[in-house]
Amino acid sequence: MTDVLRYSAFTTDPEGGNPAGVVLDATGLDDAAMLAVAASVGYSETAFVRPTAEPDAFDVRYFSPLVEIPFCGHATVAAAVALGRTGLLRFHTRAGLVEVAAAPGTASLTSVPTESADATPAEIAAALTALGWAESDLDPAYPARWAFGGAWHLVLVAATRERLADLDYDFDALADLLRSHDAVTADLLFPRSADTWDARNPFPVGGVVEDAATGAAAAAFGGYLRTLGHVREPRAITVHQGVDMGRPSVLRIDVRPDDPRVTVTGAAVPIP
């Protein structure tokens, strides 16, 4: 029987954050077995870690209950903390190399290079229909874009916090739209201030209504801001996610104008 650890990431309280499964030695598990384990765990993602011959380097794969995901931030933080090591870890993922600075109870992951592209009017219209939003519900200062930070996400910035709080979407329609662009979540955001944001992440592609903390989307969002010219000097951005779900999470994003990679930092704790 596979030993699965359970951690909650981007929180210091096991009642908050986003739960992740962690298998510290997935040697011998094939794709079907990993998917079956992830489905039985039932969290948005489970990380499957395989040691390599290189010290402090690991092959890591991520499965939701329905599909494999190329990269998952919260499960990366959970896995790094669960390994119990300090210093620089190297996670070889399907998206590429992710370096993780690990310390007791916390981890800072540095993403693969980010990128983003405009969403077309048709894609925006489909997203708004699936979400039950109107065009006026979008903040015109932040255009809708597909953003990548190890996985693709659709970034939409709401015009009001009330719009973000009222999330009731068409699960199948949004899943179909995201799949059509090889994306995993919709990253819905609202700026409390320039450097403090609220976020929600529907994840129907993985069979999950909403993620309470999404490190991959946070990395993609940092890259999105950089592409739009909002990062003229090194910036630290705080994202509050999971608040509307009753599982508050805090993610720190560090973005530089001279580096397309983004660092995402958070805590993780075991779930009793």
Tens digit of pLDDT at every position of the chain (272 positions): 789 999 999 999 999 999 999 999 999 999 999 999 999 999 999 999 999 999 899 999 999 999 999 999 999 999 999 999 999 999 999 999 999 999 999 999 999 999 999 999 999 999 999 999 999 999 999 999 999 999 999 999 999 999 999 999 999 999 999 999 999 999 999 999 999 999 999 999 999 999 999 999 999 999 999 999 999 999 999 999 999 999 999 999 999 999 999 999 999 999 99
- CA geometry: angle 242, 246, 159, nearest 5 deg: 50
With 0-12 CB in 10 A as exposed, 13-18 as middle and 19+ as buried, what is 116?
buried
**What's the domain count of the chain?**
2
Say what the pTM is: 0.96
Q: pLDDT value at position 2?
A: 87
- Residues 246 and 136 grouped into a single domain: yes
CA distance 217 to 208: 15
Nearest alpha-carbon partner for 90 in 52, 58, 60: 58
**269, part of any domain:** no
Are 37 and 26 a contacting pair, CB within 8 Å? no
Q: pLDDT value at position 16?
A: 98
The HSE-up count of residue 37 (CA atoms within 13 Å, CB side) is 25
- Residues 80 and 136 grouped into a single domain: no
Instruction: Give the list of residues 6+ apart from residue 36 with CB closer than 8 angstroms, or none.
Output: none
Instruction: Give the list of residues 6+ apart from residue 45 with CB closer than 8 angstroms, or none.
Output: 20, 21, 38, 62, 63, 64, 69, 72, 74, 75, 206
Q: pLDDT value at position 196?
A: 98
**272, part of any domain:** no
Residue 226 belongs to a domain with what CATH number? 3.10.310.10
**87, part of any domain:** yes
SS3 of the chain: the string is CCCCEEEEECCCCCCCCEEEEEECCCCCCCHHHHHHHHHHHCCCEEEEEEECCCCCEEEEEEECCCCEECCCHHHHHHHHHHHCCCEEEEEEECCEEEEEEEECCEEEEECCCCEEEECCHHHHHHHHHHHCCCHHHECCCCCCEEEECCCEEEEEEECCHHHHHCCCCCHHHHHHHHHHCCEEEEEEEEEEECCEEEEEEEEHHHCEEEECCCHHHHHHHHHHHHHCCCCCCCEEEEEEECHHHCCCEEEEEEEECCEEEEEEEEEEEECC
- Residues 177 and 216 grouped into a single domain: yes
- Residues 137 and 216 grouped into a single domain: yes
- Residues 77 and 210 grouped into a single domain: no
CA distance 263 to 143: 23
- Residues 218 and 164 grouped into a single domain: yes
Q: Tell me which residue range forms the domain holding 137.
A: 115-261
- Residues 51 and 155 grouped into a single domain: no
**267, part of any domain:** no
Q: pLDDT value at position 172?
A: 98
Find the length of the chain. Answer: 272
Are 213 and 11 a contacting pair, CB within 8 Å? yes
